[in-house]
């Protein structure tokens, strides 16, 4: 059964065969080199869970290909050039989003909530939200950010998470190439436009024809004398007053919305690469324009497989700022959800299904993860005892993301689970199906009070493999703050004392108190332990 992905370019499921496959034709992913470019965040504000659904999808894709033995180069841009907010005009006559962000920052400063020193500086504002994004992404375990953190030089970091403001001269270079090759022209208004008539495949990705686009039944393409076709999009706009501007052969101004991804992806991955991901809203126009630019400039096929995530809904409604029904990562962690819970909540539905996000779904995620983590603890304990006796302690430490996945001989049940997990993932990343395989496998393991060593070791290894993709079991949870931790330990002592005196009323009261602090208490014959909960106490309805 080959690995199949839905390729937006051809509107169908296709066998995934890397451009640089491994030596085994029957399993071309093993030993292959794969390049993935993911459209990342814009840094004018905190990213919300809808954004992160898309980023996490690309992370699951990347991790799954790694599990299957590919060497993946994953690149994700962080857009720090402001784009327009006004959707009536395609040519940048609206307000710049960074300008809006700057205004907000200034408001905050007036209110005494200064987040940065100089809110007038759009670069500083972008930096601020870029840092916030990286923090959130680390919490959620994005592999691309782990790569970024591991990279030691500015240049290598810039390949992994490039920022457009650092590559403007390269944009200009590509625009010049496009002009030289007859794909771009300078209009009477001085703006440089892409000539979509010069690129017959324009519209292929979204299933639009030029005919439909020119009619603009949605009413949003703008007729403009300077453009040859209403759907021609701008590559460079001279504007001496724009909030962010750079010198160019066409005057001081700023680049178009799409050029950054063409330039930066080619820069990091070459003129042709395997996979390009993004949210469904990117299909048109962003990715359409990227293809036109990239292939127009290089004359080579740009991306082999395009994959797009469906949008996230919240409580059955489209997420939007006006409704106020969106969450940021920090909103949810403040509520008391551990990041692994958020990760699970956002990856456990297949990327191509529309997904409805609810707080309830996070509680469910917490329960599911707890089951797996308990199993992992049990396996580690069973394995550690023997390994320690044998002087072999290599199982205490979880595998790092980039560490190769070993292949010892696994028990048949474990092999079966991995095969079923892979089968589901091979079917266009069917995570729900893969999780079903995992839980079906995990169930009988709970029954054994004590597992025999070889079984435990094999099971542990298998769980680590799937967790390379899931990233929720062998990762550290958020630690309690020091003062809270002391408070908890204090309460635990009091409770122990109460229990020794058989004062169960007091003991139960303290347990409730601990619960509201986000701590779960467990009484066992061996003693009483506590641990932080993955989710806050459920509010009674």
Partner RNA sequence: GGCCGGAUGCCCGAGUGGACUAAGGGAGCGGAUUGCAAAUCCGCGAUUCGUGGGUUCGAAUCCCACUCCGGCCUCCA
Identify residues 249-278 at the interface with RNA (CB under 7 A): 257, 278
461 binds RNA (CB under 7 A): no
Q: Which pair of structure tokens corresponds to residue 285? A: 């126009």
For the segment 502-521, give every residue that binds RNA (CB under 7 A).
Answer: 504-505, 507-508, 511, 520-521
Which of residues 262 and 282 has its CB atom nearest to RNA in the complex? Answer: 282
Contact 229, 87 (CB under 8 A): no
Among 24, 489, 523, 537, indicate the residue that binds RNA (CB under 7 A): 523
Binding-residue pattern over the window 316 to 355 for RNA, x denoting contact by CB under 7 A: xxxx-----------------------------xx-xxxx
Which of residues 21 and 287 has its CB atom nearest to RNA in the complex? Answer: 287
For the segment 54-113, give every residue that binds RNA (CB under 7 A).
Answer: 54, 83-90, 97
Which of residues 47 and 382 has its CB atom nearest to RNA in the complex? Answer: 47
Among 19, 132, 139, 213, indicate the residue that binds RNA (CB under 7 A): 213
197 binds RNA (CB under 7 A): no
Tell me whether residue 328 is exposed, middle or buried, using C-beta atoms within 10 angstroms of its C-beta: 0 to 12, 13 to 18, 19 or more: middle
Which of residues 22 and 278 has its CB atom nearest to RNA in the complex? Answer: 278
Phi-psi region of 69 (alpha: psi -120 to 50; beta: other; left: phi over 0): left
Of the candidates 302, 289, 283, the residue with the CA atom closest to the CA atom of residue 256: 289
The dihedral over CA atoms of 377, 378, 382, 384, expressed in degrees to the nearest 10, equals 10
Please count the residues of this chain forming the interface with RNA, following the rule CB under 7 A.
92
Tell me whether residue 246 is exposed, middle or buried, using C-beta atoms within 10 angstroms of its C-beta: 0 to 12, 13 to 18, 19 or more: middle
Task: Tell me the window of 25-33, 50-58, 122-130, 405-413 that interacts with RNA (CB under 7 A).
Answer: 50-58
Q: State the minimum distance, in angstroms, from the CB of residue 456 to RNA.
A: 16
Contact 276, 270 (CB under 8 A): no
Report CA 114 to chain centroid distance, whole Å.
29
What one-character DSSP code corresponds to residue 89?
A: -
450 binds RNA (CB under 7 A): no
368 binds RNA (CB under 7 A): yes
Which of residues 32 and 79 has its CB atom nearest to RNA in the complex? Answer: 79
Q: Given the DSSP bridges, would you call strands 12-15 and 4-7 parallel, antiparallel or unpaired? A: antiparallel
Among 53, 183, 276, 457, indicate the residue that binds RNA (CB under 7 A): 53
Which of residues 32 and 77 has its CB atom nearest to RNA in the complex? Answer: 77
Helix, strand and coil percent figures for the chain, each rounded to 5: 45, 15, 40
For the segment 385-444, give every residue that binds RNA (CB under 7 A).
Answer: 424, 427, 430, 432-433, 435-436, 439-440, 443
Q: State the minimum distance, in angstroms, from the CB of residue 112 to RNA.
A: 28
Q: State the minimum distance, in angstroms, from the CB of residue 283 to RNA.
A: 6
Q: State the minimum distance, in angstroms, from the CB of residue 388 to RNA.
A: 24
Tell me whether residue 390 is exposed, middle or buried, using C-beta atoms within 10 angstroms of its C-beta: 0 to 12, 13 to 18, 19 or more: exposed
Contact 506, 498 (CB under 8 A): yes
Which of residues 47 and 268 has its CB atom nearest to RNA in the complex? Answer: 47
136-140: list long-range contacts, CB under 8 Å, 24+ apart: 136/46, 136/47, 136/52, 136/328, 136/329, 136/330, 137/52, 137/55, 139/329, 139/333, 139/339, 139/342, 139/478, 140/52, 140/55, 140/56, 140/329, 140/339, 140/342, 140/343, 140/346
Q: State the minimum distance, in angstroms, from the CB of residue 528 to RNA.
A: 8
Task: Tell me the window of 102-110, 120-128, 184-192, 227-235 that interacts with RNA (CB under 7 A).
Answer: 227-235
Task: Tell me the window of 207-215, 297-305, 331-339, 478-486 that interacts with RNA (CB under 7 A).
Answer: 207-215
Task: Tell me the window of 107-115, 146-154, 297-305, 364-372 that interacts with RNA (CB under 7 A).
Answer: 364-372
| Cβ neighbours for 473, distance < 8 A, ≥ 6 positions apart | 369, 372, 373, 376, 463, 464, 467
Q: State the minimum distance, in angstroms, from the CB of residue 496 to RNA.
A: 10
């Amino acid at each position: 059964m080959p690995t199949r992905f839905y390729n937006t370019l051809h509107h169908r499921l296709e066998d995934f065969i890397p451009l640089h496959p491994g030596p085994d034709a029957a399993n071309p992913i093993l030993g292959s080199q794969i390049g993935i470019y993911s459209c990342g965040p814009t840094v004018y504000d905190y990213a919300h869970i809808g954004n992160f659904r898309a980023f996490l999808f690309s992370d699951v894709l990347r991790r799954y290909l790694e599990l299957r033995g590919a060497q993946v180069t994953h690149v994700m841009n962080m857009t720090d050039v402001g784009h327009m907010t006004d959707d009536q005009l395609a040519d940048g006559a609206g307000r710049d989003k960074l300008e809006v962000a700057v205004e907000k920052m200034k408001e905050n400063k007036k209110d005494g909530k200064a987040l940065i020193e100089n809110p007038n500086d759009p670069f500083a504002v972008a930096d601020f939200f870029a840092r916030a994004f990286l923090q959130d992404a680390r919490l959620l375990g994005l592999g691309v950010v782990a790569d970024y953190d591991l990279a030691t030089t500015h240049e290598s970091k810039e390949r992994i998470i490039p920022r457009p403001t650092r590559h403007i001269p390269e944009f200009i270079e590509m625009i010049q190439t496009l002009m030289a090759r007859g794909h771009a022209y300078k209009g009477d208004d001085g703006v440089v436009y892409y000539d979509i008539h010069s690129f017959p495949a324009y519209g292929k990705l979204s299933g639009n024809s030029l005919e439909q686009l020119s009619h603009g039944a949605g009413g949003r393409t703008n007729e403009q004398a300077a453009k040859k076709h209403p759907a021609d999009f701008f590559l460079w706009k001279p504007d001496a007053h724009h909030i962010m501007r750079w010198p160019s052969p066409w005057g001081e101004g700023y680049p178009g919305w799409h050029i950054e991804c063409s330039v930066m992806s080619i820069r990091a991955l070459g003129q042709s690469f395997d996979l390009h991901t993004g949210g469904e809203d990117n299909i048109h126009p962003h990715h359409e324009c990227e293809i036109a630019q990239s292939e127009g400039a290089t004359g080579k096929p740009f991306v082999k497989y395009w994959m797009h995530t469906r949008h996230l809904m919240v409580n059955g409604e489209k997420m939007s700022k006006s409704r106020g029904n969106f969450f940021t990562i920090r909103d949810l962690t403040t509520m008391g959800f551990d990041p692994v819970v958020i990760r699970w909540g956002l990856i456990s539905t297949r990327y191509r299904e529309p997904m409805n996000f609810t707080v309830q779904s996070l509680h469910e995620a917490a329960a599911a993860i707890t089951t797996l983590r308990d199993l992992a603890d049990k396996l580690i304990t069973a394995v550690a005892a023997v390994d320690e006796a044998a002087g072999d302690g290599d199982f205490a430490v979880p595998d790092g993301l980039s560490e190769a996945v070993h292949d010892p001989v696994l028990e048949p049940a474990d092999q079966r689970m991995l095969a079923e997990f892979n089968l589901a993932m091979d079917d266009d990343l069917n995570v729900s199906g893969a999780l079903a395989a995992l839980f079906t496998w995990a169930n009988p393991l709970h029954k054994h009070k004590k597992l025999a060593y070889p079984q435990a070791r094999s099971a542990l290894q298998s769980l680590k493999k799937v967790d390379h993709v899931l990233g929720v079991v062998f990762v550290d949870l958020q630690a309690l703050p020091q003062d809270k931790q002391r408070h908890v330990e204090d309460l635990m002592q009091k409770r122990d004392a109460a229990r020794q005196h058989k004062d169960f009323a007091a003991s139960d009261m303290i347990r409730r108190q601990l619960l509201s602090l986000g701590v779960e208490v467990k009484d066992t014959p061996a003693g009483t332990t506590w641990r932080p909960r993955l989710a806050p106490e459920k509010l009674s309805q």
